[in-house]
Amino acid sequence: MRSSLAATTFAITVLAGLGAVSAQAADQVAGSQTATAAVKAGDGKDLGTATLTEAPHGVLLRVQLKGLTPGWHGVHFHEKGDCGTPDFKSAGAHVHTTAAVVHGLLNPDGNDNGDLPNIFAAADGSATAELYSTLVSLKGAGGRPALLDADGSAIVVHASPDDHKSQPIGGAGARSACGVVK
């Protein structure tokens, strides 16, 4: 009985050690390249954060926001890391690689690298979402536009939902929140 208990204890200790090694390896891969953005309203009020993690073929974006108008909101990566004006026009256009940009995840001619799915704010104005984009990277991996390039980039939340087809921004309306990707 005692040797059976000792063998079980040894097996649990070894498995726990292997689990710790596996967790460390996963943390090193997942946490190797990350960026964050403090998202603010036009009046400077803090609305929450966005965390970006480089993945093998894109970027995983996690947003945790509060204080939004309830309902759907368009979200895009913008080409400049500048949220300095209250209307957030200082963030520039969407991230893109071509001169003639066509917007829309549902547009067959779409080539706008800043396009993302919409997020939904609950009745209390909170929105928690995890989005994935194969159209960008943090530092230019795979030839995709780098969000952390010389002039940076921003995450912009719009007042209305993006229809993912119409030009130039899918009818997403005014820029209601912005966060510089750092």
- Read off φ and ψ for residue 95, nearest 5 degrees: -60, 135
pLDDT average, residue stretch 17-42: 63
> Could you read off the pLDDT of 35-61 as tens digits, one per residue?
999 999 999 999 999 999 999 999 999
Percentage of the chain modeled with pLDDT above 70:
82
- pLDDT of amino acid 21: 37
- pLDDT of amino acid 98: 78
- pLDDT of amino acid 101: 87
- pLDDT of amino acid 18: 38
> Could you read off the pLDDT of 97-134 as tens digits, one per residue?
877 789 999 999 888 999 999 999 999 999 999 999 99
Q: What is the DSSP string of 120-174?
A: EE-TTS-EEEEEEESS-BSS-GGGPPBTTSTT--EEEEESS---SSSTTTTT--S
Residue 110 zone, left/alpha/beta (φ > 0; ψ -120 to 50; rest): beta
